[in-house]
Amino acid sequence: MPQSFDLFFVSSDYQKYKEAKKILHSFGIRLGFFKYELEEIQSSSLKEIASKKAAQAFQKYKKPIIIEDDGLFIDSLYGFPGPYSSYVFKTIGNKGILQLLTQNRKAKFVSIISFYDDKNSKSFEAKIYGNISKIQTGKGWGYDPIFMPKNSNKTFAELTNKNELSHRYKALKKFSNWYLHKLESNDQ
């Protein structure tokens, strides 16, 4: 029996999808997955990057979609890697980031969720502040083994409740509130 979805997550990153699916399921939203390598424009704005990707994904699939773009912004590196986080992770990884840092380890993660359908184009942003650890710890993906949220001595990779406090969770929660309200309004 085919499964029906409320909308689709478009990405080449299955880990992001799994996390988003779990979070949105807690809000009663069924999320499907379209694996697709989206073209990423060069911009210093995560919102602009996410919006362009969402428009591109909708043009390809013609179904309600969301995409997520995020960035790790490190204070002592003047916000680097920011919107270039994916490329930096692929080239120098967590070890390279750790080698770049000295004293000031303050950082923030920013997530943008962009929704697109035949009537709406909307983005939702959320941030979480913290620090970069001195060593990689835990078995997580991406920057999770080096990012410690504020008031925690554990990295995202070590936390069992990451999906309840991450930047992605906060952005998806904002999206969910809007999306569920939109669905209720359309039913009346």
Active site residues: 69
14: left (phi over 0), alpha (psi -120 to 50) or beta: alpha
Integer-rounded Cα radius of gyration of the chain: 17
Question: CB–CB of 134/98 below 8 Å?
Answer: yes
Taking each helix axis from N to C end, the angle separating 167-187 and 14-26, rounded to the nearest 10 degrees, works out to 50
Burial 36-47 (b: 16+ CB within 10 A, else e): bebebeeeeebb
- Nearest-CA neighbor of 135 among 108, 154, 109? 154
d(CA 86, CA 123): 20
- CA pair distance 59, 118, nearest whole angstrom: 10
